A and B are shown apart, each in its own frame.
Chain A
Amino acid sequence: MGSFFSSRIMTDILGGLASGVVIALVALCLVIIWKSTHVLNFAQGAMGMFGAFVGMNLVFHGVNYWLCILVSMMAGLLLGGATERVLIRPLYGKPEINPIVVMVGFLGVIESAVPSIWKNEISTIPTPFSQVYYQSHGHTILMSPFVAFQIVLSLTVMGAIALLFRFTDLGLKMRAAALAPEVSRLLGVRVGRLLTWGWMLSSGVGALAAVIVSSGQSLAPSNMDGIFVSAFIAAAVGGLESPVGAVTGGLLIGVAESFALNFWSTNLAPLAGVIVLVVSLAWRPQGIFTRHVARRV
């Protein structure tokens, strides 16, 4: 059993799943925003990092790790809400390129502002669990308690989001606001408020993803850049309209990059994601999980 889990293929799969769940989490955030407001949030990763900076820097001031995660998420929530209200809301009904340009600009603003705010506080964030790999019958399994924690936490958050959208009144209203905003308004649903909540949710979860990615390494504004690119590819592969697609795409890209890392080289790992993207777009341009919907014209 131990040799099976330490085999090259299983090592790649486990490593891929560990990064894949985080990619899936960020891809899910992108899909939530895309579905509700049709905005491609190019600042998703940077916004998450901003939340992580706000919360996780408190670790170095003796604040409890778990409380820091909570503060990070709260900072993410607030930044998401403010971004929707201030930057995005005035652009509804305008050409779709406008919010994209604004968010690319916002990405630059965050990445240059963060080092100015937290000047000398870039240190390694501790991890709440050991990073030493498990051993089984003399074989090393590429899975540590911390990696297991990353996977379980990411899956739990994804599950909670799925339950929110599927089984709660708030989720029903958020789905309705995204699918049919005008009809929702006619039914008394406060669509504007729900769109803000959608951005808050996405940004809060993005901050959690940034904390997961940054734990065990130095906090840097660009920590999420690579993950964001992979998440963007994952969302495109799975289909921008499909949360299930985003999660599946994330896991797929994570495993593909892990295999590339092992069989090719570190530099070529991102290429695996691009190859998956090209093949999947050639097969299903709308994304693997997005259904073709006939629209009334």
Chain B
Amino acid sequence: MIFVNELSVSYGAIKALNDVSFAAPSSSITAVLGANGAGKTTLLRTISGLVHPSKGDIRCDETSVVGMATEEIARMGVGHVPEGRGVISEFTVEENLRLGILASRLDVNEGMERQFELFPILGQRRKQYASTLSGGERQMLAMARALIARPHFLLLDEPSLGLAPLVTADVMKTIDSLCNVEDLTVILVEQNARSALRIAHQAIVLHLGAVVASGPAREVANDPDLRHYYLGLVK
């Protein structure tokens, strides 16, 4: 479970997050929705330790991660697929995956084969440079690389960004099944509210750095005001 308690983040005079609190239950998907500039990416970057909060606490299960270095947070089981995927284009698929498992003490080959079972397309592309992959394949590679070290928590930042609707549907289906198969606690940041709400168990809506709504995904999806004002969906 991830607990976020009264979290505030500032970039100089600009408050990116203002007293954000929520809990992402274990083995479930929590969608974080909102328009551009709502603070979604900042929230994930703060959980990963890339951004330091001015106030508040973040707990992954029992451990507070505020003040910890990003690499230590990753080593304790928080996988983060950043916006734009962060795949290293100059590396092959295998090298990208190897990089993902080196910080853990797991067996490299075993981990890699496991990811090729989960993402068969990567097995076919294992010797290819990441720069030659399609957008959907790069997203799969980014997720596989985050999963290879067997994290307990997975933070996904805009996984549908730049993908065709059919590929987006595939990616969302994969996230849904990963949550079940890998027993993951997922925080899914998305602008594509419709796709995210389809697989999420609960959702929070951010607006100008503050939580304006939260609850079960189905309720958020059916709230006509939220749909219209914050999610860009037809009322």
Report A's interface with B, CB cutoff 8 A: 169, 172-173, 175-176, 179-180, 182-191, 296
* Complex: A76 Cα to B50 Cα, angstroms: 33
A185 / chain B contacts, CB cutoff of 8 Å: 50, 69-71, 74
Point out the residue from A169, A176, A296 that lies within 8 Å of B88, measured CB to CB: A176
Cross-chain pairs A/B with CB under 8 angstroms, 10 sampled: A172-B98, A179-B91, A183-B82, A185-B50, A185-B70, A187-B103, A187-B149, A188-B74, A188-B103, A191-B71
Min distance, Cβ A96 to any Cβ of chain B, angstroms:
22
Question: What are the 6 closest A-B residue pairs judged by CB atoms, nearest first?
Answer: A188-B103, A188-B74, A183-B86, A185-B70, A188-B75, A186-B80
Chain B 37-49: CB-based contact to A (< 8 A → 1; otherwise 0):
0000000000010
Given A173-B102, A179-B88, A186-B48, list of 11 further CB < 8 A pairs? A169-B98, A173-B99, A179-B91, A184-B99, A185-B69, A185-B70, A185-B71, A186-B79, A188-B71, A188-B102, A189-B102
By size class, the interface of chain B is 20 to 34
CB-CB nearest in chain B for A293: B89
| Interface flag for B136 (CB, 8 Å) | no
Task: Assess A189 versus B99: contact at CB under 8 Å? Given A179-B88, A183-B82, A183-B86.
Answer: yes
CB-CB nearest in chain A for B108: A169
B91 / chain A contacts, CB cutoff of 8 Å: 172, 175-176, 179
Chain B 44-81: CB-based contact to A (< 8 A → 1; otherwise 0):
00001010000000000000000001110011000110
| Interface flag for B25 (CB, 8 Å) | no
Q: Are A190 and B98 in touch, CB under 8 angstroms? A: no
A176 / chain B contacts, CB cutoff of 8 Å: 88, 91, 99
B50 / chain A contacts, CB cutoff of 8 Å: 182, 185-186
CB-CB nearest in chain A for B74: A188
| Interface flag for B19 (CB, 8 Å) | no
* Complex: A11 Cα to B136 Cα, angstroms: 57
Min distance, Cβ A77 to any Cβ of chain B, angstroms:
23
* Complex: A179 Cα to B90 Cα, angstroms: 8
CB-CB nearest in chain B for A180: B88
A179 / chain B contacts, CB cutoff of 8 Å: 88, 90-91
* Complex: A179 Cα to B96 Cα, angstroms: 12
Chain B 82-126: CB-based contact to A (< 8 A → 1; otherwise 0):
101010101100010011101110000000000000000000000
Q: Are A183 and B88 in touch, CB under 8 angstroms? A: yes
CB-CB nearest in chain B for A193: B71
Q: Are B149 and A182 in touch, CB under 8 angstroms? A: no
| Interface flag for B145 (CB, 8 Å) | yes
A191 / chain B contacts, CB cutoff of 8 Å: 71
* Complex: A183 Cα to B102 Cα, angstroms: 14
CB-CB nearest in chain B for A296: B84
Min distance, Cβ A139 to any Cβ of chain B, angstroms:
48
Point out the residue from A172, A180, A190 that lies within 8 Å of B86, measured CB to CB: A180
Point out the residue from A175, A188, A190, A296 that lies within 8 Å of B149, measured CB to CB: A188
Q: Are A189 and B71 in touch, CB under 8 angstroms? A: yes
Chain B 185-214: CB-based contact to A (< 8 A → 1; otherwise 0):
000000000000000000000000000000
Min distance, Cβ A192 to any Cβ of chain B, angstroms:
8
B75 / chain A contacts, CB cutoff of 8 Å: 188
CB-CB nearest in chain A for B76: A188
Task: Assess A186 versus B86: contact at CB under 8 Å? Given A169-B102, A172-B98, A172-B99.
Answer: yes
Q: Are A186 and B82 in touch, CB under 8 angstroms? A: yes
* Complex: A191 Cα to B146 Cα, angstroms: 17
Min distance, Cβ B130 to any Cβ of chain A, angstroms:
11
CB-CB nearest in chain B for A169: B102
Q: Are A187 and B90 in touch, CB under 8 angstroms? A: no
Min distance, Cβ A62 to any Cβ of chain B, angstroms:
44
